Amino acid sequence: MSNTIGTNLKKYRMKCGYTPRRLAEMVDIAVESLKDIEAGKRIPVPELVEVLAAAVRQPAHRIYGLPEIRTPAQTIAKIIEDEEGEEVTVLFGGKRELDIIMMHEDGLTVRLKRVPEDDSDD
């Protein structure tokens, strides 16, 4: 099993110069819990990933190992229904990054954050 979350969290924790104990104190979790996450023995809930990401000064999508989402300048939602369920395609305006993904009884919630446009070319 891949340990993308743990590997990325450890990389950014170390980049910030934090020990496991320091980061655990910052986000109010047990040091052993943090070590288990970094070792891939435990998968954190999305809310904890968000708090951990903020503590290591990174957007959540980097902890998840997901790319930044760049989107066109308009918002369009298209729903296609078939025998197996629904497929939803949504195009958003502006530059976005993935903030959180949550699975629940009614489906999937994906939350995006708008990224401020800058004057530099990527």
Does pTM surpass 0.85? no
Same domain, residue pair 75 and 48:
no
Q: 91 or 30: whose pLDDT is higher?
A: 30
Structure confidence by residue, pLDDT tens digits, 53-102: 999 999 888 998 887 665 555 545 555 566 666 665 555 566 666 666 77
Same domain, residue pair 50 and 10:
yes
Structure confidence by residue, pLDDT tens digits, 12-22: 999 999 999 99
Instruction: Give buried/exposed letters for 66-104 (b at 16+ CB in 10 A, else e).
Output: eeeeeeeeeeeeeeeeeeeeeeeeeebeebbbbbbeeee
Same domain, residue pair 53 and 73:
no
Q: Is the pLDDT of residue 29 over 70?
A: yes
pLDDT of residue 3: 86
Count: domains in the chain: 2
Same domain, residue pair 50 and 77:
no
pLDDT of residue 26: 95
Same domain, residue pair 87 and 53:
no
Domain containing residue 108: 69-114
